[in-house]
Structure 1
């Protein structure tokens, strides 16, 4: 029985992956690293600490992890403030359906909490979420299940009663590892993500309705 829906944020609520890509492309270029789409697609859905830890290991970057993360977050907040992004088509309608159906709603994102709250404020949809969890608040980020399990705990719902909406390979793997159902949103702006682990794949948020969620 469906009791809760847990949303990823980047690429699901807001089309922010191009923003992330642009900032990371600039950061990689400044560090003298390959800033190709193929390289950056590897990190979609990861927390900033996990991403930079892998980058440091992969490319031998010597700058401290904390400095890289702070630099990246400041750049992204600045880019978000200047952007005119709105909620992805269908998101507000789906949130209204869930509210009317009295289904608990959570947000579990790999982004830092400060960026998550900035996005929710920009989109004007904070009121719909019963809990918000950043991947940086749990021991391990996606593709590990920690962030989704924490969201279920805060919602006081068993994992098997939760459905996750994700747009990344790392996210879908994390949702399934948490014992949850998962809808994969094939967002063209999120790169060529392998969503085969999802229980259902959609190409528009408008395809996700309360009956569809309840049927999983």
Structure 2
């Protein structure tokens, strides 16, 4: 058995497999504004790394609404994001072949995201890659989302790979912190951006259309 079969590559989802940040912003703007929430760019900065449940609770505390439960509002946001993923062009260029190349090298492939579980299959269908993943994990089922490392520990355990043998591909500050706190090697997917927090990662990938980095050889 190839030694790499005891190693794994775990992908974040939003911003790595699909470019959905704008969809989340649009869905939250539409749903929460309809409930009387006054969304500002300044406050939105606080919600970017939160789970959907945490975002809903955040806005409710700021602008309490009546006659509709928080979990229903949360599901409305999720449903709107799903609609946008299904109808808009959002696949990250080169991502499917990149994962296929890793599979050819006998790496186990995981997904660990802060996003709700029911969005994951929609995304994997979008990039036609569900068959390439050995396990998928959502922080929806953890007590805390990223930057807490729980979702990455769960992913490694499910893949039956030690955390130190896992390579994580992330694009966010909270995600990079989560993976580092799990003791994993972290690659920042920069997508041509130059965020300062990328310095926390062990390596960088600018584009998935480039050849596999030497770390995978």
TM-score normalized by the length of structure 2? 0.86
Q: Distance in 2 between matches of 1:56 and 1:187?
A: 33
Aligned length: 211
Runs of 4+ in 1 over 4 A off after TM superposition: none
Shift of 1:78: 2.0
Higher relative contact order (CA 8 A, sep 6+): 1
SS of residue paired to 2:39: coil
Q: Distance in 2 between matches of 1:53 and 1:12?
A: 26
Partner of 1:199: 202
Pair member with larger Rg: 2
Maintained 8 Å contact 2:10/2:109: yes
Partner of 2:72: 67
Maintained 8 Å contact 1:163/1:213: no
Q: Distance in 2 between matches of 1:208 and 1:108?
A: 23
Partner of 1:111: 115
Maintained 8 Å contact 2:164/2:183: yes
Shift of 1:55: 3.1
Q: Distance in 2 between matches of 1:131 and 1:33?
A: 37
Residues 172 and 24 of structure 1: CA distance in aligned 2, closer, same or farther (over 3 Å): same
Partner of 1:77: 82
Any unmatched runs of 5+ in structure 2? none
Q: Distance in 2 between matches of 1:62 and 1:33?
A: 8
* Structural mapping, 1:13-162, within 5 Å: 13-57=17-61, 59-62=62-65, 64-85=69-90, 87-162=91-166
Any unmatched runs of 5+ in structure 1? none
| Between 24-33 and 168-177, the greater mean CA deviation after superposition | 24-33
Maintained 8 Å contact 2:192/2:207: no
Maintained 8 Å contact 2:51/2:114: yes
Alpha carbon RMSD of aligned pairs, Å? Answer: 2.4
Shift of 1:102: 0.2
Q: Distance in 2 between matches of 1:192 and 1:61?
A: 34
Matched, 1:164 2:168: yes
SS of residue paired to 1:12: coil
